[in-house]
């Protein structure tokens, strides 16, 4: 199957470079095409898969004019001049064999109903943050094969049609029959412990709120010990709550979850030597929650800190730092002025109005 779109790769041309490679004939729908959806779907389309993107009207119009561009921190670059991108669920989902769900956690129930209406027999893979989305999809789609997955990397919008992967990692997906989605620049790996993996990723994603409140690049924060201590304290608090609930998060980085707070608290020169993998990110990379605040969108705070707070209440524990992050993000959402640009001291001293 030949690619339907041309692609370009920085420093060398790869127009039609994958034409001779065998790719799966599954029809894939991206529902919907935000940063992760555009990046993953863009790579799949460039590799020759039949991919349709469900997106908002503005992205549809921009891609019709300029195409879709995806890049990564290794210098890879692919341009899709004419992606199959629409703004109506019916046009995107009907006849899909596989649907990659990429909506924010708060929109999962609505997307599940659209899938139930237009493609009830499709295989569904959740590429979402949080730990509850696959369960919500299964409840709404009782006859469907629903798989949870974990996306470890960060994707940032560089322009309305340019999506850039700023960190490393491979997609982990719940084990079972699945089309071959590997591409030359992105691997998918099946795992048996996807729930533990999701909790491990959630622990890392708790840092999204800190980054969103700081208005700083992730790399800048990781090189500052005061910020790392704040990240460590929040994660350690969450680990205590998970332990009370009998949840054992899996390792999603080079170090196991219980060691990460200790590594974050190290003096900066030692941290740089030990945590080299954590620093394999673009200098300007920021969290998706930062982007949500600056775009005036609802964040996923309920699926991240909210999950820790729900467990804390269930098991009679306290999680004051996670509660403070949740409060500050909600305040920033209401203010509508983007990131408040707080310091670690601001965050620690900010009164909790919950």
Q: Does residue 338 lie within any of the structural domains?
A: yes
Q: Does residue 331 lie within any of the structural domains?
A: yes
Same domain, 182 and 212: no
Do you find a cis peptide bond into 32, omega within 30 degrees of 0? yes
Listed residues 192, 216, 233: the one ending a domain? 192
pLDDT tens column, 217-261: 999 999 999 999 999 999 999 999 999 999 999 999 889 999 999
* CATH code assigned at 226: 1.10.1040.10
Same domain, 119 and 171: yes
Residue 131 tokens read as 């730990």
Average pLDDT over residues 96-107: 96
Listed residues 192, 227, 262: the one ending a domain? 192
Same domain, 152 and 20: yes
Same domain, 143 and 234: no
Cα end-to-end distance, the chain, whole Å = 56
* Closest-CA residue to 281 (of 223, 206, 219, 222): 219
35: helix, strand or coil: helix
Residue 329 tokens read as 């993000």
Same domain, 218 and 274: yes
* CATH code assigned at 68: 3.40.50.720
> β-strands 77-80, 68-72: how paired?
antiparallel
Same domain, 122 and 21: yes
Ranking 4-13, 55-64, 279-288 by mean pLDDT, the lowest is 4-13
Listed residues 129, 161, 192: the one ending a domain? 192
Same domain, 182 and 213: no
pLDDT tens column, 3-56: 333 444 443 333 333 333 334 578 999 999 999 999 999 999 999 999 999 999
Same domain, 142 and 211: no
pLDDT at 253: 86
- Spatial CB neighbours of 52, under 8 Å, sequence gap ≥ 6: 27, 28, 29, 30, 84, 85, 86, 91, 92, 96
Same domain, 215 and 339: yes
Give the separation between CA 250 and CA 30, rounded to whole angstroms: 27
Range of the structural domain that residue 327 is part of: 197-349
Average pLDDT over residues 329-339: 97
Look at the chain and count its residues: 354
Q: Taking 90 as the threshold, does the pLDDT of residue 276 lie above it?
A: no
Same domain, 169 and 235: no
pLDDT at 5: 39
pLDDT tens column, 119-173: 999 999 999 999 999 999 999 999 899 999 999 999 999 999 999 999 888 999 9
pLDDT at 19: 30
Q: How many structural domains comprise the chain?
A: 2
Same domain, 115 and 158: yes
Q: Does residue 354 lie within any of the structural domains?
A: no
């Amino acid at each position: 199957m030949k690619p339907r779109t041309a692609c370009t790769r920085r420093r060398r041309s790869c127009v039609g470079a994958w034409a001779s490679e065998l790719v799966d004939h599954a029809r894939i729908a991206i529902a919907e095409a935000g940063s992760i959806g555009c990046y993953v779907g863009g790579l799949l389309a460039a590799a020759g898969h039949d991919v349709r993107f469900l997106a908002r009207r503005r992205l549809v119009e921009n891609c019709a004019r300029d195409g879709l561009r995806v890049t990564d921190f290794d210098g890879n670059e692919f341009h899709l001049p004419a992606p199959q991108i629409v703004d109506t669920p019916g046009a995107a989902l009907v006849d899909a064999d596989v649907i990659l769900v990429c909506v924010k956690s708060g929109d999962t129930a609505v997307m599940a109903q659209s899938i139930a209406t237009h493609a009830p027999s499709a295989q569904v893979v959740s590429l979402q943050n949080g730990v509850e989305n696959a369960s919500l999809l299964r409840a709404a789609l009782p006859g469907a094969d629903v798989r949870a997955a974990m996306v470890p990397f960060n994707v940032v919008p560089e322009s309305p049609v340019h999506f850039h992967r700023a960190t490393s990692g491979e997609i982990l997906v719940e084990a079972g029959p699945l089309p071959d989605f590997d591409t030359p620049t992105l691997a998918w790996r099946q795992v048996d412990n996807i729930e533990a993996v999701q909790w491990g990723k959630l622990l890392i994603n708790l840092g999204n709120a800190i980054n969103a409140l700081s208005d700083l690049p992730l790399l800048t924060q990781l090189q500052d010990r005061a910020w790392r201590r704040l990240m460590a304290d929040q994660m350690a608090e969450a680990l205590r709550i998970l332990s009370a609930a009998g949840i054992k998060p899996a390792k999603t980085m080079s170090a196991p979850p219980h060691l990460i707070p200790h590594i974050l608290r190290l003096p900066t020169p030692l941290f740089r030597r030990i945590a080299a993998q954590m620093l394999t990110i673009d200098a300007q990379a920021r969290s998706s929650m930062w982007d949500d605040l600056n775009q005036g969108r609802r964040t996923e705070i309920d699926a991240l800190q909210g999950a820790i707070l729900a467990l804390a209440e269930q098991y009679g524990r306290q999680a004051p730092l996670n509660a403070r992050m949740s409060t500050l993000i909600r305040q920033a959402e209401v203010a509508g002025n983007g990131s408040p640009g707080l310091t670690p001291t601001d965050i620690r001293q900010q009164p909790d109005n919950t």
